[in-house]
Structure 1
Amino acid sequence: MKHLLFLIFAVQACLPGFAACDGRVRIVPRPAEVEELPGSFRLTPRTPVVITDEQLRTPAEIFARAVGKLTGTEPAVTAAPEKHAVTLQLQPGYEAEEYLLEVGRQRITVTASTPQAVLHGLRSLQQLVAGGEIPACVVRDKPTFAYRGAMLDVCRHFFPVEDVKTYIDILSLHKINKFHWHLTDDQGWRIEIKKYPLLTQIGSRRAETLVGRYDKNKEGVYDGKPYGEFYTQEEIREIVSYAAERHIEVIPEIEMPGHGLAALTAYPWLGCTGGPYAVWTHWGISDDVYCAGKETTFEFIEKVLTEVLALFPSKLIHIGGDECPKGRWKACPLCQQRIREEGLKDEYQLQSYFIHRIERWMHTHGREIIGWDEILQGGISKTANIMSWNGSDPGIKAAQRGNPVIMTPKWYCYFDYSQTSDPERYEPLGNTRYVSVRQAYRLDPCDRLTLPDQKRIRGVQCNLWTEYIADIRHAQHMVLPRMAALAETGWANDRKDYNDFVRRIPALVAVYKAEGYNYAPYLFEGIE
């Protein structure tokens, strides 16, 4: 009887509509439905990409360049109908990111209601191209979560414009649709603000940088080399436009009230003590934060944000809110006066006042805030988006009290953590906390939540903090292939299967190789 039941389940799993047991169709993230058909489509140097709507030209050109890297021949993009072609078409009736991919022996068609979803279909097709002959099939697909994000910290180490674009390309390949750009921190201010030029003239530069692993209990060794760059507003517009062409929304992060030492160094009146301050040369958490008792602090932040909003059309703006020590506020007469005048209980409620005030300003400008989960301290409005990084519990509590939540718990989603259990043996210098591909895949963003509360989970995000990551090659090594695991949770959380994921991922790795990405090999070498 046991063997009979196994046989029944095995047959069911290989029927149309089940993506798990398909032998030739290997796509990450896992599609909602796959039906394998007899035969295959042979892509030749003369096979064009046909667009039936001019809106589809950019997705077609992105795909054509990718095919060129895989096969050595970049297909032509044309509006002229062809028989043996990859044809892209827009039709009503699909959800915003839903697509239909049909591969026959003579023709491939990608159909969706939006150019974004057509590009998703082409990203799936890209992996099938990587496998050689394209197997005949029908793929029906759409994501589980609307928010699928990845963060890049450019404060600890700066990434030039072309490298940021490469990072965005990696996101697009994985159907990740939000680029969280961490632009300000204690170690550097990276965004040009014309109202306050010293933010980049002074705040973007540190005197030197720590060498080796940081230990707050030991005196470090430093390289003695001044370090610092920033993005002009023109460069930021260029990156936002580049991401938009790939249907990725760029969400800037301007840290407050903590992690603001670079700004305090440029304008010491922003702090409680008045300085002197210095842009930090090492990592960790600074005691010096924005003074919450001065009106001039809020005037500064609002003027900075006015320029930020002009550069970034995203509905969501990240305001940090994490790791804000309260010692300076406790000793500051102006902060204590603010607590008394506003009828606040303590410094935690002062932080809540700070965040509420910035959120109200954002609302008057048609935007919403995201904050790290510490913004829950002292109370927060139900409209604030909570990014849960201190494990899943803060996100669970926030969802239960009615807040929208993005799950990014560090033990699953921090990709600056080591990828193996023996990083000293296998990996470059870095954070020795451990998140393997398997562990990243284990994330269940809706765990322990009732169905109504699950609806408040907007999605998931992976984060790359760059204390030990100085260039794009190292960044690629840290996020690949773990980003594929995160992407599958974001896109296909309702149909995950780790063993099937491992079976499918070689097709995606073939794309990594064609693109020249420096992916980590540990998963494929059996090293965890």
Structure 2
Amino acid sequence: MKTGLLSLCCALMLFASCGKRIPKSDAVAIVPKPVSEQLSDSTFDLTKRTRIRLLADDSTLLRSTDFFNGVVSKAFGKGLYVAQGGQAQKDAINVRLDDSLPSEGYTLLITPDSIDIAGGSPAGVFYAFQSLRQLLPAAALAGERARVIELPAVEIRDEPHFAYRGAMLDACRHFFKPDEVKEYLDLLALHKINRFHWHLTDDQGWRIEIKKYPELTTVGSVREKDLLTNVLDTVRKFDENPYGGFYTQDQIRDIVKYAADRFITVIPEIEMPGHATAALAAYPYLGCVGKDYKVTTLYGIQEDAFCAGKDSTFGFLEDVLSEVIDLFPSEYIHIGGDECMKNRWKECPHCQQRIRDEHLKNETELQSYFVHRIDQFMSSKGRRIIGWDEILEGGDLSRNAAVMSWRGTQGGIAGAKRGNEVVMSPYTYCYLDYYQTADTAGEPLAYGNCLPVDSVYKFDPYAGLTPAEQKYILGVQANLWTEYIRDLDYLEYMTLPRLAAIAEIGWTYGGKDYADFSDRMHSLAKVYDAEGYKYGKHMFVPETGKVPESAGGGTGATGSATGIAE
């Protein structure tokens, strides 16, 4: 009898050590909002014994299972067993491909018997698992040991509105290490963002290794000191130590693969003809003056640019872009094109000779000539250029080029009206380096404007366009310039939760309801907390000033992120 009692006690202790039943969340609250969802009262019990069964012979589906196992292993202590082939089974997550669905679309059906996922492609399956992640209870996301995780019975049908849903990271003003870039990519994947625009060259640093021109990184990647205060301050303070960093080509290949595993395409940006001081410091012959260039320590628009009159400039850029093309398989390569000051061109005999030889009217048309020449080269390599909306100026932009509208939406509207594809990214709605609140006391240093999440959510990328013109809008993009963002915590804080609003505009376009979005964001905040993300709490704080428990327990900007960050 004693032996039986001992065995029973041991069994009970073992049962208890395996965790508990974690009840389902009260509601289905997914960001970005699915196209349709139908909730019922029952649940599915997810346990360690639940198998993931892949019904399609496609190895890329393992990207999704690896991701999901990384999430549930926190609660179960291990991932779920993955089986390939066979038939759908009960007590399993059955995964298949369905070519009748849109490429990035999916269905997610949770019943008491099973979870059934169908994707129009492996990307659609990945997004289904991202939605399934948000349906997990907060305790499971947080890693509380579980015996059973309840999931609500629901049928979801979903697909994105826009094909291009992007986020830009400026690695020039402040450099982010490869592992930090990967963490940023994980953050994008959570929000079903599928384009990573990587700003790699600018006046303040050249961040990409180019084998043929090693001084771009030995010289151009390092500025002599780093600004610590607002560039507009009367008295500026600097860290007097050299500041720099760059990505080797091997690191870039690794990051591109890491992004692809999350169904994110990396679009590199190589700035031209302006924002080129770092390149000129490395190779002075590329500029109009030809000497005495330094990597810039201050922020703002610089006078110097690549010389548009020298053929050697175009030879250099074609060499650089050839190596870039080998590293990045993306259809588009971003060439910048913004904020090019033309005073040097006005004074440069080479540029003036080019204007005469090409029968150009002025320096604005010279910039158009510059862009057109790069466009022709990229087209010969089977790639397309995309650039900031200044590339429209001068009137000779080919239909093959795409426009990224940042100075409001006017550039995007103009591009769409003339038949160019457009990504809408206006600073008025999409610049995440702006303050998240008008009450800036205690906020980390930001660019100066105020862009709260509810203002981001109001953005309509189709405004001002006819239905015929709307077809040229590829999508939307959030931009994060890093003059005042120097570490990952600070990056996360400025990005979240505003990236979620951009993601919903890109995925769910139409029928927006900010109150509903705000309610659903409490659920997404639980994922933020589980991942340890720093994020702004302003949208979660009612008039009492107290953060509700449903907003999660994570802090806002902490540590170095609360101080002056430039």
Q: What TM-score, normalized to structure 1? A: 0.93
Q: CA deviation at 1:49?
A: 2.2
- Number of positions where the alignment pairs a residue of Structure 1 with one of Structure 2: 505
1:83 to 2:87 alignment? no
Q: Distance between the aligned counterparts of 1:161 and 1:501, measured in 2?
A: 33
Residue in 2 that maps onto 1:121: 128
Query: SS of the residue aligned with 1:120?
Result: helix
CA spacing shift, 1:293–1:137, aligned 2, 3 Å: same
Letter in 1 for 2:298: H
1:190 to 2:197 alignment? no
Residue in 1 that maps onto 2:561: none
Residue in 2 that maps onto 1:221: 237
CA spacing shift, 1:219–1:360, aligned 2, 3 Å: farther
1:441 to 2:457 alignment? yes
Q: CA deviation at 1:72?
A: 5.7
Q: Distance between the aligned counterparts of 1:70 and 1:121, measured in 2?
A: 20
Q: What TM-score, normalized to structure 2? A: 0.87
CA spacing shift, 1:509–1:58, aligned 2, 3 Å: same
Residue in 2 that maps onto 1:111: 118
Match of 1:39 among 39, 42, 47: 42
Q: CA deviation at 1:76?
A: 3.1
Gaps of 5+ in 2: 1-24, 139-148, 546-566
Q: Distance between the aligned counterparts of 1:342 and 1:398, measured in 2?
A: 25
Residue in 1 that maps onto 2:14: none
Does the 8 A contact of 2:522 with 2:540 survive in 1? no
CA spacing shift, 1:389–1:377, aligned 2, 3 Å: same
Q: CA deviation at 1:113?
A: 2.6
CA spacing shift, 1:139–1:439, aligned 2, 3 Å: same
Q: CA deviation at 1:220?
A: 2.4
1:92 to 2:99 alignment? yes
Residue in 2 that maps onto 1:29: 32
Residue in 2 that maps onto 1:3: none
Moved more, 183-192 or 430-439: 430-439
Letter in 1 for 2:434: Y
Q: Distance between the aligned counterparts of 1:222 and 1:92, measured in 2?
A: 57
Q: Distance between the aligned counterparts of 1:241 and 1:287, measured in 2?
A: 37
Residue in 1 that maps onto 2:16: none
1:326 to 2:333 alignment? no
Alignment RMSD? 1.6
Q: CA deviation at 1:23?
A: 7.1
Q: Distance between the aligned counterparts of 2:387 and 2:263, measured in 1?
A: 23
Q: Distance between the aligned counterparts of 1:101 and 1:271, measured in 2?
A: 56
Residue in 1 that maps onto 2:557: none
Residue in 2 that maps onto 1:362: 378
Letter in 1 for 2:438: S
1:289 to 2:305 alignment? yes
Q: Distance between the aligned counterparts of 1:372 and 1:431, measured in 2?
A: 19
Greater Cα radius of gyration, structure 1 or 2: 2
CA offsets 1:294-348 (integer angstroms, 9 cap, x no match): 0000000000000000000000000000000010000001100000100000000
Does the 8 A contact of 1:63 with 1:126 survive in 2? yes
Query: SS of the residue aligned with 1:102?
Result: strand
1:268 to 2:281 alignment? no
Match of 1:139 among 156, 168, 189: 156
Does the 8 A contact of 1:69 with 1:514 survive in 2? no
Gaps of 5+ in 1: 1-21
CA spacing shift, 1:508–1:68, aligned 2, 3 Å: farther
Q: CA deviation at 1:526?
A: 3.8
Q: Distance between the aligned counterparts of 1:365 and 1:499, measured in 2?
A: 48
Does the 8 A contact of 1:411 with 1:434 survive in 2? no
Residue in 2 that maps onto 1:60: 65
Percent identity of equivalent pairs: 51
Moved more, 59-68 or 309-318: 59-68
Q: Distance between the aligned counterparts of 2:329 and 2:485, measured in 1?
A: 29
Q: Distance between the aligned counterparts of 2:350 and 2:49, measured in 1?
A: 72
The correspondence of residues 233-382 of structure 1 with structure 2, limited to 5 A, is 233-379=249-395, 380-382=397-399
1:50 to 2:53 alignment? yes
Letter in 2 for 1:78: A
1:483 to 2:499 alignment? yes
Does the 8 A contact of 1:32 with 1:142 survive in 2? yes
CA spacing shift, 1:401–1:281, aligned 2, 3 Å: same
Letter in 2 for 1:422: D
